[in-house]
Chains A and B, each alone.
Chain A
Amino acid sequence: MAGFLKAFKRSNVWRLLKKNARFWICLMIIIAVAVLGIVGPYMTKYGPKTPTGEIMAPPSSKHPFGTDYFGYDVFAETVYGIRVSLTVGIFAAIIATIVGVMLGMVAGLRGGIIDYIVDTVINILLAIPPILIMLLIAAFMGKRGIIELGLLIGLLSWQWTARAVRSQVASLKVSDYVATSMLSGNSFIRIMFKDIFPNIASYSLLSFVIQLGSAMLTVITLEFLGLGASEWSLGAIIQLSVLWGAIPLGVWWWWFYPGIIIVALIASLYLIVVSLEEVFNPRLRRE
């Protein structure tokens, strides 16, 4: 591991990454949001649904994000909300990336009927907006926990990853070294993991970050529609504020703080992908 780190520090990737200010700013924001979700609940003496006695109090030192119509502390709601929303998003992104990479590799490498089926399913999922299917399933789902919601989003979002991996693998498949590996009688699994996977490993990582960004957006949207995993997720806080007229009442802090955290997190995830793409792909570097 130490040897790997040394080699990485000498590499071109590190040299380029070091001077990419955008990358570091975005990484800081993502870490800050995650830290807020982890340690935030210990920083406040209120729970997400603990009445504080003050109703619709503007932000102050006592209540950094103010309090809402029911007298709950918005900071407490938000930090607990980050935990729920981020967990669902990460879980969904892991599933989508693993399923997408595996199906893309198998389809691209095997070809034939398996490839045809995977390709058709990808095309169907691209033509019907998957979030509508998620909405329909989520609305009728008996139990909507973190795991169920993560599975639902993950299992309907892998098509983007699979499509990109499939086309990359299909072009790798005809290369000489894969042909040699096949001729020397290596098993399908061995070729897949030893010969093909190292080539798409960096794409898989990028794909995970993209999936996380879009999964977060999906999670928040479902939560806003009242189909979230918990009643104090980030989207649910904002939904409640709309349902109770926070906008006409002028209680902007009720929805603005959770909202701005969502935007900062998702934008950072997207922008980190842009930075990483510039580092990995010389054609996008614009030097």
Chain B
Amino acid sequence: MAMKMGFGEYVAKRIVLYIIVFFTAVSIAWIIPRFLGNPIAIIIARLGPGQAGAAIAASYFMQAFGLNKPLYEQYILFWIGLFHGDLGISVWLLGKPVSQIVFKALIHDLILMVPAIITSWFIGNYLGAIAAKYRSLDRILLPILYILTATPYFLLAMILQWTFSVQYKLFPAVIQTSILDRLFTNPSWPTFIAFIKEWTLPFLSLVIVSMGGWASGMRSLMIYELESNYSRFMEMMGLSSRLISSYAFRYALSPQITGLGIQLGTMVVGAIAVEYIFNYPGLGYFLFNAIINNDPFLLQGAILIIVLMVIAANFIVDLLYAALDPRIRLGVMG
């Protein structure tokens, strides 16, 4: 990056990058099902009619999905469909439009993931900073934090479900979709409380694992800052260790802000299994079912929406970062 670069120029550069990313992501989601596999064959295999019927059904689906048109036309049609919110139909859910399923699931996902990511970010960064500052605490915290990051999301979800809803019946083991629906159509206090009880375990599974990631990252960044020349200099000037750590913390925090978007990506993937385990009707739940039930369009649609969600989050985080970091905001340094 150039030494002198204005805020506007920075934002413009990021926008160009995200347009490229968006274009690449949509193209990948279009290319892979077409060239690696054969969605029609999968659907026919699922329907399982006799030989003669299969050929008729295949040609019907070829026409219905426009797969008999030239490739460039299919590609353009896919883009047009995307902007009209048309992502094909789900085979597993018997012809329900994919866009309808995924948009609803997206909202469910946001209710689960936005609080999870914010909570884990704050607790994780705090724990990491403490581990870096107090060496005696670090001896215990360090292994715990790394064990948490090394835990697959689904495994922690299983441990929590086993402990808190099978051994001790404190929380319901699975989500009832009806409660979630009622929350939107007919909100009331009892519904909300019932929902929170069901929401707690999936929420905790996501928070605890990603908290370990934030904390272990923060710990390294913070130690690096605390051992740097400016910290040493402040120490020599006789400034309090509290002040020194507060400066180091602010410095160490900036990569953690950029990491937010990336972390969301990993969390979404972890959430696929967590949502399946708790029967939470988010994007991951449909994605998991799309895989085990061989549903090509639902799979494609769900991945596309998740990717777009992550790209949007990354973009927001980038802008936030640019606005927060004075070096970019004032255009002093790239």
Residues on A lying within 8 angstroms of B by beta carbon are 22, 120, 123-124, 126-129, 131-133, 135-137, 139-142, 213, 217, 220-221, 224-227, 235, 238, 242-243, 247-248, 250, 252, 255, 259, 262-263, 266-267, 269-271, 274, 277, 283-284, 286
Contact = CB atoms under 8 A, between A and B. Distances in A.
Contacts of A247: 158, 161-162, 166, 173, 277
B310 A263 contact: no
Contact of B173 (A139, A140, A248): A248
B269 A135 contact: yes
B17 A284 contact: no
A281 to B, nearest CB: 9
B317 to A, nearest CB: 10
Contacts of A277: 220
A48 to B, nearest CB: 20
B314 A127 contact: yes
Contacts of A22: 143
B21 A132 contact: no
Given A129-B268, A247-B162, A262 B37 contact: no
A226 B292 contact: yes
Contacts of A259: 152, 155, 158-159
A124 B20 contact: yes
B307 A284 contact: no
Given A135-B303, A221-B270, A225-B273, A283 B158 contact: no
Given A267-B150, A270-B149, A283-B228, A224 B20 contact: no
B32 A128 contact: no
Interface stretch (B82-90, B93-101, B259-267): B259-267
B319 interface: no
Nearest to B33: A140
Contacts of B155: 238, 255, 259, 262-263
Given A225-B272, A283-B227, A284-B223, A128 B149 contact: no
A129 B307 contact: yes
A225 B288 contact: yes
A140 B32 contact: yes
Nearest to A137: B32
Contact of B269 (A132, A267, A271, A283): A132
Contact of B152 (A136, A217, A250, A271): A217
B150 A270 contact: yes
B307 A221 contact: no
Given A131-B266, A221-B270, A123 B220 contact: no
A271 B146 CA distance: 7
A284 B220 contact: yes
Contact of B37 (A131, A135, A142, A284): A142
B55 interface: no
A129 B266 contact: yes
Contacts of A131: 265-266, 269
B150 A213 contact: yes
Contact of B154 (A129, A137, A238): A238
B273 A128 contact: no
B333 interface: no
A270 B20 contact: no
A54 B206 CA distance: 36
Contacts of B276: 242
A225 B43 CA distance: 20
Contacts of B154: 221, 224, 238, 242
Contact of B135 (A250, A263, A266, A286): A286
B150 A128 contact: no
Contacts of B161: 247
Nearest to A259: B155
A126 B166 contact: no
A235 B147 CA distance: 18
Nearest to B138: A286
10 contacts: A123-B17, A127-B311, A127-B314, A128-B310, A132-B307, A221-B154, A242-B154, A250-B166, A267-B151, A274-B142
A252 B150 CA distance: 20
Interface in B183-241: 216, 220, 223-224, 227-228
- Tell which of B173, B216, B269 has the most Cβ of chain A within 10 Å: B269
Contacts of A255: 155, 158
Nearest to B135: A286
A142 B228 contact: no
Given A136-B28, A270-B146, A286-B223, A129 B273 contact: no
A142 B21 contact: no
Given A129-B268, A263-B150, 5 more contacts: A128-B24, A128-B311, A136-B299, A247-B158, A247-B166
A274 B144 CA distance: 13
B273 to A, nearest CB: 6
Given A238-B154, A274-B142, A284-B223, A127 B18 contact: yes
Nearest to A225: B291
A248 B166 contact: yes
5 nearest CB pairs, A to B: A129-B265, A266-B150, A267-B150, A140-B37, A140-B36
B175 interface: no
B40 interface: no
Interface centre among A136, A141, A247 (most CB of B within 10 A): A136
Contact of B300 (A136, A213, A243, A263): A136
Interface in B136-188: 142-143, 146-147, 149-155, 158-159, 161-162, 166, 173
